[in-house]
Amino acid sequence: METVMTAFFLASAADAPGVYYAFENSDSVGKFIVVLLIIGSILTWTVMLDKWWSLYRAKRLCNRFISIFQQYGESNMLTTALLREADMNPGPAAAIYRAGVEKLLDFYSAGGTNARGVPVACKLSEAQLNAVEAVLEREVSSQLKELEKRIGVLATLVSLSPFCGLFGTVWGVMMAFCGIAAAGKSDFTALAPGVAGALLTTVAGLVVAIPSLVGYNWLTGMIRDLTVTMDNFTEEFMVCVKIAQLKVSRD
């Protein structure tokens, strides 16, 4: 084995050492796999950077809206400042708020409107409160589905790229031995170029798989954090609705 490795490195040094040498000595199948994995690597980084930015932005928008909601929510969930912010804020928390308020206004409109035509808060039944909560949960699921878009691409690349690399390596080694057998020689220096080309596909597969795995775990962690934030906001919204109901009961 030591003789094989020595011959491999000597052959590399004699011509064009490194990755280029290995690629030049790959057959058409090996080169195709390497090119395919390079495309996979570009796709990995594109998805990771794009998804990181969208999740980072969603987190900032969530925090901004929730901080404003906490200022006004308990006193008046339908205050103009809160409604205006919800209309301008494209984040998940604002979308959940809009869905909940829309359902609330549907119920409130049945109880009449004030002089400005705005629905007045009225006593809601338990079934109506459950309906509001169901709308909020449905919107959380919808937002979560949006946040998880393209994450499956990374999971696929994590699983698939090492196998592509392994296939290329097995194929390359098989072709290298077949070439030596056909030539009727057992010279290790003749074997080294083929082995170099074969091992390149494994390297390429790992270059795709490792960043994909790190990125997948990192991004799923961000999604979990946002999911907790949305769930907590849903509970906070319902608490404010129930506080408003207590005020209606006292009035």
**pLDDT reported for residue 180:** 73
| pLDDT at residue 188 tops 70 | no
Of the candidates 20, 16, 44, 43, the one whose C-alpha atom is nearest the C-alpha of residue 31 is 20
Q: Of the ranges 1-5, 150-154, 232-236, which is most confident? A: 232-236
Q: Residue 97's Cα: distance from chain center in Å?
A: 24
Window from 12-16, 27-31, 68-72 with minimum mean pLDDT: 12-16
Taking the model in full, what pTM does it have? Answer: 0.81
The pLDDT tens digits of the residues spanning 68-85 come to 998 887 677 888 888 899
**Residue holding tokens 């395919």?**
36
The pLDDT tens digits of the residues spanning 45-58 come to 999 999 999 999 99
| pLDDT at residue 117 tops 60 | no
Of the candidates 223, 216, 220, 222, the one whose C-alpha atom is nearest the C-alpha of residue 157 is 216
Enumerate the domain spans of the chain: 2-76+150-250
Angle between helices 126-147 and 188-250 (to 10 degrees): 160
Greater confidence (122 vs 251) lies with 122
**pLDDT reported for residue 4:** 41
